[in-house]
Amino acid sequence: MNNIIIGTAGHIDHGKTTLIKALTGRDTDRLEEEKKRGISIELGFTYFDLPRGRRAGIIDVPGHEKFIKNMLAGVVGMDIVALVVAADEGVMPQTKEHLAILNLLGIENGIVVLTKIDLVDDEWMELVKEDIKDNLRGTFLENSPILPVSSTEKTGIKEVIKVIDRLTEEVQERDITQTPRLPVDRSFTITGFGTVVTGTLLSGEFKVGDEVQVFPGNKVSRIRSIQVHGENTGVAYAGQRVAINLANLKKYEVSRGNVIAPVDSMKSTMMLDVKLKLLKDSKRIIENRPRLRLHIGTTEVLCRVVLLDREQLTPGESCYAQLRLEDEVVANRGDKFIIRFYSPVMTIGGGIVLEGNPPKRKRFDQKVLEELKVKEKGDSKEIVEKIIKKNSEEFPNLKDLNVLTTMSEEKIRKILDKLVNEKRIITFKLSDNIYAIHKEYYSHLMQQISEGLKEFHENNPLKIGMLKEELKSKYLNHIKPKLADTFINRLTEENVIKQDNEYVSLKDFEVKFNETQEKIKREIEKEYLNIKFQPLKFEELPNRLKYDSIDIKEVFEALIQFGVLIRLKDNIILHKKNYLESIDITKAHIKEYGCITVGELRDILNTNRKYAIAILEDFDSKKITKRIDNKRVLY
């Protein structure tokens, strides 16, 4: 483990800051008021080098009950916690509250440091140790060592360093491949540099020059420089305490509670789906929709708690709930949080985020509860499938899934491959990106299109199919045109539909003329074959053929679709045979004379100028000829 964050916790005046000074030689109280009053008010930060060569960041948190919200902002990203208990006082209210908070936030590694041992005798110290052990039962510190020290006399300090150094081997490595996230715990300005923010980088890595966004919100900036433990560096990695100098950003535009992350990598929300737990010794129960204080990341926001699976939550119980917030936050699945009672302010519970951007949920909805169970279980494949199923209508791509799941794109690719092999999702590749929809949505959309085409064929039996653009407009207008084309091609490959140039039809559909329509077809063809290149408008056909005008129109349009009749600009119609003959004539003339003019083609075809222009412009568009001034040459 290369990057370690060590944090303190414990009651006010139990010696947290003095312990850090004994470990590092540095005082983390930086405010004048802190030095004057002799207590920590804000978070303090420093570092020291461990015997095995690692440089560990240290976060000192205030112990006074009035500053719990500052303490909560500092707990984010801690790997190892030193719970500090003064030997002359023993376990106190904030000792218990801090311990409960650490436990709810899922901290796994820690020690207990028994300070001020120079103020008590051995018998008293043993009594305090027993009391500490009683209070640690059932917590992550239950089997942790209790290390007696005197920070002022430096007694026991070497043993604390030795144990912390050993514990670093047990800390799980952070994932630097994930999207980087920096919850801001301080924001300030430095003359000549501008705005600087600090925090613990929870995941991923940031490089100088990276473009970032301030969440919630839309302020975009660029990383001008990075410091880790006071030293300039080009890259910061997950698990490090970092200071980032942000370009073109005013101090008031970013503050504690914001999150720095890549542009568009997160979504702000006013709701969170959560698994909520009430502390065993909570003095409050939760009924539906109480107003509470939510602490997540480094931010505090007021919220209403909607209980999804019960009428009330009693001490020691857990439930599914939706938090409806009074201000926007950003959160990822798996983020831990704390809830505190609105007034009087006290910690009553916490939990884990199951969905960071949920829709508004109905209470006691079994489908919702089943979905949340899957998300709580944490099976990556199940989670990705559920998210794809929920968002199939938008055809989410890799980046969308990265934002919605907080998993790396590499991990998502592997999961998509498995889901495709299991025939649970369908993927589409387009421009080096992958889009995914659930198999159920694919089947639903395929059925919609099939039924729509079937109805179209019934109403238009002489049309070879629906225009592809019309089909896209009806059924695929919510996605990019090229992606819609890819979807249609997929249906074609699976023999659901067939394509004929710009037309789409059901696979087995064929145009069938009845006896009358066959006669009309033959007569229309005869008319256009005979006139060759002379004008004949559709409107003239009813007088020539003596059939019902509606029947004539249907057959005429069918012949256009089949390509038997060619429609040029200005509604000029040629029979395909005559059209092909005009190509041969034009090519032969150009080969003999080097070029052809409108007038020459007009005379050769025995037509008028309008027809000759339409024919040559059609040839130009199909790259048969090329216009140079007033002449055409072969393309």
Q: What is the pLDDT of residue 562?
A: 86
Q: Residue 30 — pLDDT band, cuts 50, 70, 90? A: low
Which residue type does 112 have? V
Residues 565 and 619 in one domain: yes
Q: Residue 447 — pLDDT band, cuts 50, 70, 90? A: very high
Q: What is the DSSP letter of 248?
A: T
Degrees to nearest 5, angle at CA 277 with 351 and 328: 40
Residues 290 and 326 in one domain: yes
**Residues 219, 248: contact at Cβ < 8 Å?**
no
Q: What confidence tens digit (pLDDT) does each residue in 342-363 have?
A: 989 999 999 999 999 899 999 9
Q: What is the pLDDT of residue 64?
A: 74
Q: What is the pLDDT of residue 28?
A: 78
Residues 14 and 162 in one domain: yes
Helix/strand/coil (H/E/C) assignment for every residue in 110-169: EEEEEECHHHCCHHHHHHHHHHHHHHHCCCCCCCCCEEECECCCCECHHHHHHHHHHHHH
Closest CA to 259 of 358, 354, 352, 332: 332
CA 15 to chain centre: 43
Q: What confidence tens digit (pLDDT) does each residue in 589-629 have?
A: 999 999 999 999 999 999 999 999 999 999 999 999 999 99
Higher pLDDT, 577 or 52: 577
Residues 160 and 189 in one domain: no
CATH number at residue 146: 3.40.50.300
Q: Is residue 502 part of a domain?
A: yes
Quick count: other Cβ atoms within 10 Å of Cβ 367? 8
Average pLDDT, the chain: 91
Residues 608 and 524 in one domain: yes
Residue 501 has pLDDT above 90, yes or no: no
Q: Is residue 190 part of a domain?
A: yes
Residues 485 and 554 in one domain: no
Closest CA to 372 of 316, 333, 401: 333
Alpha-carbon gap, residue 307 to 369, rounded angstroms? 11
Domains of the chain: total: 5
Quick count: other Cβ atoms within 10 Å of Cβ 635? 11
Residues 328 and 403 in one domain: no
% residues pLDDT > 90 (the chain): 71
Q: Is residue 193 part of a domain?
A: yes
Residue 307 has pLDDT above 50, yes or no: yes
Q: Is residue 139 part of a domain?
A: yes
For the record, the structure tokens of 554 come out as 């249907």
Residue 1 has pLDDT above 60, yes or no: no
| 570-575 average pLDDT score | 90
Q: Residue 37 — pLDDT band, cuts 50, 70, 90? A: low
Alpha-carbon gap, residue 281 to 79, rounded angstroms? 26
Closest CA to 303 of 328, 330, 267, 275: 328
**Residues 573, 538: contact at Cβ < 8 Å?**
yes
Q: What confidence tens digit (pLDDT) does each residue in 56-76 have?
A: 889 888 867 777 888 888 888
Residues 436 and 401 in one domain: yes
Alpha-carbon gap, residue 65 to 94, rounded angstroms? 7
Q: Residue 36 — pLDDT band, cuts 50, 70, 90? A: low
Q: Residue 31 — pLDDT band, cuts 50, 70, 90? A: low
Q: What is the DSSP letter of 309?
A: S
Alpha-carbon gap, residue 180 to 212, rounded angstroms? 10
Q: Is residue 620 part of a domain?
A: yes
| 328-339 average pLDDT score | 94
Q: Residue 39 — pLDDT band, cuts 50, 70, 90? A: low
Strand ranges (E), 255-397: 259-262, 269-278, 286-287, 291-296, 299-307, 312-313, 318-329, 336-341, 347-355
Q: Is residue 175 part of a domain?
A: no
| 536-564 average pLDDT score | 86
| 153-169 average pLDDT score | 93
Residue 136 has pLDDT above 60, yes or no: yes
CATH number at residue 615: 1.10.10.10
For the record, the structure tokens of 111 come out as 């020690």
Higher pLDDT, 366 or 55: 366
Residue 53 burial (C-beta neighbours within 10 Å; 0-12, 13-18, 19+): exposed
Report DSSP letters for 320-338, one per residue.
EEEEEEEEEE---TT-EEE
CATH number at residue 251: 2.40.30.10
Alpha-carbon gap, residue 110 to 168, rounded angstroms? 10
Q: Is residue 218 part of a domain?
A: yes
Q: What confidence tens digit (pLDDT) does each residue in 78-87 have?
A: 999 999 999 9
Q: What confidence tens digit (pLDDT) does each residue in 246-275 have?
A: 999 998 999 999 999 999 999 999 999 999
Degrees to nearest 5, angle at CA 582 with 581 and 583: 90
Q: Residue 453 — pLDDT band, cuts 50, 70, 90? A: very high
Q: What is the pLDDT of residue 38?
A: 63
Residues 234 and 215 in one domain: yes
% residues pLDDT > 70 (the chain): 98
Domain end residue (candidates: 320, 355, 371): 371
Q: Is residue 177 part of a domain?
A: no
Alpha-carbon gap, residue 541 to 475, rounded angstroms? 36
By residue range, what is the domain housing residue 337?
A: 269-371
Q: What is the pLDDT of residue 145?
A: 94
Residue 233 has pLDDT above 60, yes or no: yes
Domain end residue (candidates: 262, 291, 314): 262
Residues 105 and 72 in one domain: yes
Residues 506 and 519 in one domain: no
Closest CA to 60 of 103, 1, 5: 5
| 179-204 average pLDDT score | 92
Q: Is 260 helix (H, G, I), strand (E, B) or coil?
A: strand
Domain end residue (candidates: 452, 478, 511): 511
* Distances, alpha carbon 449 to alpha carbons 48, 296, 400, 427, 457, in Å: 65, 45, 26, 18, 12
Closest CA to 76 of 383, 331, 250: 331
Residues 149 and 219 in one domain: no
Q: Residue 35 — pLDDT band, cuts 50, 70, 90? A: low
